[in-house]
Amino acid sequence: MEKIIVTSALPYAYSVPHLGNFVGSVLPADVFYKYLKMKGSDAIFICGSDQHGTPIELAAIKKGIEPMQLADEMHETIKSLFSRLGCTFSYYGKTHTDKNKEVVYELFNALMKNGYITPTEDMQAYCDIDKRFLTDRFIEGTCPYCQGTHARGDQCDDCGMLLTPMMLIDPHCTICGKKEIRFIKVKNLAIRLDKLQGKVKSFIESTSQNNWSKNAINKSLGLLKEGLKQRDITRSMKWGFDVPVDGYENSVIYVWFDAVIGYIGITKELGDEYVSKYWKGKDTKLIQFMGKDNIEFHTIMFPAILIGSDRGYALPYTIKASEHLTSRSVKFSKSQGVGLNIEAALQILGADYWRFVLMHLYPETADTEFSIEMLRDIVNSVMNDKIGNLVNRVLIIVKNNASLLDSAEGMVDIGKADASISKIIASYTENFDKLNIREALADATALAALGNEIMSSKEPWMLAKNSPTDPRARAEFQDVVRKLLRIVFDAGVLLYPFTPFAASKVLDYFGIKGMPSLDLLDSDAQFDTRKHVEILFSKITEREMEQLKKFENKP
Ligand SMILES: [Zn+2]
Ligand SMILES: [Zn+2]
330 φ/ψ sector (left φ>0, alpha ψ -120 to 50, else beta): beta
Looking at the CA of 178, name the nearest ligand.
2
With beta carbons less than 8 A apart as the criterion, state whether 304 and 196 touch.
yes
Distance 183 CA to ligand 1 centre (A): 22
Looking at the CA of 163, name the nearest ligand.
1
Share of the chain above pLDDT 90, in %: 94
According to DSSP, the β-strands at 284-291 and 3-8 are parallel
Looking at the CA of 167, name the nearest ligand.
1
DSSP 122-158: EEEEEETTTTEEE-GGGEEEE-TTT--TTEESSB-TT
What's the pLDDT score for residue 336?
54
Distance 63 CA to ligand 2 centre (A): 16
Phi, psi of 42 (to 5 degrees): -90, 90
> Residue ranges of the alpha helices (H) in 459-530?
460-466, 471-495, 500-508
Looking at the CA of 157, name the nearest ligand.
1
The answer on pLDDT for 337 being more than 70 is no
CA 518 from chain centre, in angstroms, equals 23
Distance 123 CA to ligand 1 centre (A): 22
The answer on pLDDT for 413 being more than 80 is yes
Q: What tens digit of pLDDT does each residue of 221-258 get?
A: 999 999 999 999 999 999 999 999 999 999 999 999 99
Average pLDDT over residues 506-511: 97
With beta carbons less than 8 A apart as the criterion, state whether 134 and 120 touch.
no
Distance 178 CA to ligand 2 centre (A): 6
| Whole-number average pLDDT of the chain | 96
Q: How far is CA 437 from CA 34, 86, 97, in A?
A: 12, 17, 33
Looking at the CA of 146, name the nearest ligand.
1
Distance 142 CA to ligand 1 centre (A): 8
Distance 486 CA to ligand 2 centre (A): 68
Tell me the pLDDT band of 555, cut-offs 50, 70 and 90. Answer: low
Q: What tens digit of pLDDT does each residue of 165-207 get?
A: 999 999 999 999 999 999 999 999 999 999 999 999 999 999 9
Q: How far apart are CA 84 and CA 93, in angstroms?
A: 16
Distance 155 CA to ligand 1 centre (A): 8
Looking at the CA of 126, name the nearest ligand.
2
With CA atoms as reference, report the closest residue to 241 among 11, 49, 9, 51. 51
186 φ/ψ sector (left φ>0, alpha ψ -120 to 50, else beta): beta
- Cα of first residue to Cα of last residue in the chain, in angstroms, is 57
What's the pLDDT score for residue 339?
85
By CB atoms closer than 10 A (0-12, 13-18, 19+), residue 351 is buried
Most confident of 125-139, 379-393, 409-423: 379-393
Looking at the CA of 148, name the nearest ligand.
1
Instruction: Enter the pTM of the model.
Output: 0.96
Q: Which residues contact 10 (CB under 8 A, 6 or more apart)?
A: 47, 48, 49, 50, 95, 259, 262, 263
Distance 46 CA to ligand 2 centre (A): 39
The answer on pLDDT for 554 being more than 80 is no
